[in-house]
Chain A
């Protein structure tokens, strides 16, 4: 389905800045209320004339039908019954496009019109909510470029990087409301030196969690998507397909039931972190735990994310930008030669100063204990450096994930 401008018949796309559907040709804008209140014929170029072919799970070509998907779900825990790849006929230019089994919104590769696969967001599969994009494509690019510009060790080629593609994608999520209770025994240390004491505390506590977000796409790494949080979910809106126009979107391929374990683990992590904050001790250890939980509700929502992919030394890097808040996720590549030179210069200068200083101290008859303490200090500084570098390497691994690059890349290009 394509939303058409009643003025000039151009394709309408959602504009995050004005919060309206705008025509790229004549510039006219329409609010969501106007879209809803307007004549159906005015805004919809309905898919009645589109021909759709599909293959059933046995790989046999079925008769051409004009109707929608056959995926039926009795409740939110049902699995899709048929995996399919659709050939869709663009209602604007008649080109045949292949759309994978989770794509909901895309572009025609031939005429560039934004296209919504309406059957995938209708009836049982309709998302309850959508969080519209607030960050535009240019703003997302500026956020990432500003971050690259600041890094001292960022390679020069990256500072003016050529983005391979920038895609605004509505990622499918389930939002869970849950009750969590735990009966724990924890231990932690209090005080310093002679006054240090080990304490044991038994407690029972409970809380209600609202709208814990879990990404419902098999093709995205959870560690990457969790770092996009938090979304301001107070701005969620009732779903309207028009919001998808001008962006890509996927439907879920992990059901709410399949995400239950992940949600419960998340509740536990949040609960434990808050408990440690309450006892004012990050190192508190849980010795015993008897948790109980109840999933009260789950709701299907689409949340906005910008995916920016570029190549450096033939490797793909994908930066993610929260499409609502502008939070950027992803490690910045490092110029290893520059890092090595920086290390060598600092090491030589400080070693020379400290080495000479050490000799003077020794000649002055300073106790050996001082030298042992200095050696321990050196080892501590070494460990701090190693831990920072390993955190960076872990983040870089997520940024270079082929899985994320494929999720963003394997779509129709405009």
Chain B
């Protein structure tokens, strides 16, 4: 059963390492993913004409 604890430890370690590498890659590519959103193009706010909870 010690082996299972070791395997879980290794899996957790590798998962953590991959997450760190992924986040470092994301940090160096921070800009340029976003597009214009509603506020950039809305001439008027979203106006609800009716709303009903079912």
Binding site for B on A (CB under 8 A): 147, 150-154, 177, 185, 199-213, 226-227, 229-230, 270-271, 273-275, 277-278, 327-332, 334, 339, 342-344, 346-359, 361-363, 371, 374-375, 377-382, 384-389, 391-392, 395
Query: Which of these, A330, A346, A351, contacts B20 with CB under 8 Å?
Result: A346
- From known contacts A358-B6, A371-B4, A381-B16, infer whether A207 and B11 are also in contact, taking CB-CB under 8 Å: no
Binary A-proximity of B15-34 (CB < 8 A = 1, otherwise 0)? 11111111111111101111
Contact B15 A392 (CB under 8 A): no
Contact B22 A384 (CB under 8 A): yes
Task: Give the docked Cα–Cα distance between A255 and B43 (Å).
Answer: 23
Closest residue to B5 on the A side, CB-wise?
A358
Q: Which chain A residues lie closer than 8 Å to B15 at the CB level?
A: 377-382, 385
List 22 A–B pairs whose Cβ atoms lie within 8 Å, in order of A's numbering: A151-B28, A152-B24, A201-B51, A201-B53, A203-B51, A212-B41, A271-B46, A275-B46, A343-B20, A347-B16, A348-B13, A351-B10, A358-B5, A359-B6, A362-B4, A363-B2, A379-B15, A382-B14, A385-B21, A388-B23, A388-B26, A389-B21
Query: Which of these, A199, A331, A381, contacts B29 with CB under 8 Å?
Result: A331
Task: Give the docked Cα–Cα distance between A199 and B51 (Å).
Answer: 13
Q: Which chain B residues lie closer than 8 Å to A375 at the CB level?
A: 8, 11-12
Query: Which of these, B5, B20, B29, contacts A395 with CB under 8 Å?
Result: B29
Binding site for A on B (CB under 8 A): 1-2, 4-6, 8-29, 31-38, 40-54
Q: Which chain A residues lie closer than 8 Å to B34 at the CB level?
A: 227, 229
- From known contacts A202-B52, A209-B42, A229-B36, infer whether A378 and B14 are also in contact, taking CB-CB under 8 Å: yes
Q: Which chain B residues lie closer than 8 Å to A348 at the CB level?
A: 13
Closest residue to B28 on the A side, CB-wise?
A151
Chain B nearest CB, measured from A270 CB (Å): 5
Contact A354 B13 (CB under 8 A): yes
Contact A391 B18 (CB under 8 A): no
Contact A206 B49 (CB under 8 A): yes
Task: Give the docked Cα–Cα distance between A379 and B37 (Å).
Answer: 33
Query: Which of these, A152, A361, A391, contacts B28 with CB under 8 Å?
Result: A152
Residue among B15, B32, B51 with the most chain A CB within 10 A?
B32
Closest residue to A371 on the B side, CB-wise?
B8
Q: Which chain B residues lie closer than 8 Å to A339 at the CB level?
A: 21, 24-25
Q: Which chain B residues lie closer than 8 Å to A327 at the CB level?
A: 31-32
Contact B43 A209 (CB under 8 A): yes
Contact A153 B28 (CB under 8 A): yes
Closest residue to B35 on the A side, CB-wise?
A226
- From known contacts A201-B52, A202-B54, A374-B8, infer whether A355 and B42 are also in contact, taking CB-CB under 8 Å: no
Task: Give the docked Cα–Cα distance between A352 and B13 (Å).
Answer: 8
Q: Which chain A residues lie closer than 8 Å to B16 at the CB level?
A: 346-347, 350, 378, 381
Task: Give the docked Cα–Cα distance between A351 and B33 (Å).
Answer: 33
Task: Give the docked Cα–Cα distance between A361 and B15 (Å).
Answer: 20
Query: Which of these, A213, A275, A378, A389, contacts B11 with CB under 8 Å?
Result: A378
Task: Give the docked Cα–Cα distance between A41 and B40 (Å).
Answer: 42
Given contacts A205-B47, A381-B15, 16 further A-B contacts (CB under 8 A): A201-B51, A202-B51, A204-B49, A208-B42, A227-B32, A227-B35, A277-B38, A332-B29, A353-B13, A357-B9, A359-B6, A377-B15, A378-B14, A385-B19, A392-B22, A395-B32
Chain B nearest CB, measured from A40 CB (Å): 39
Task: Give the docked Cα–Cα distance between A205 and B50 (Å).
Answer: 7
Closest CB pairs A-B (n = 3): A388-B22, A351-B13, A385-B18
Contact B33 A395 (CB under 8 A): yes
Contact A384 B49 (CB under 8 A): no
Contact A354 B12 (CB under 8 A): yes
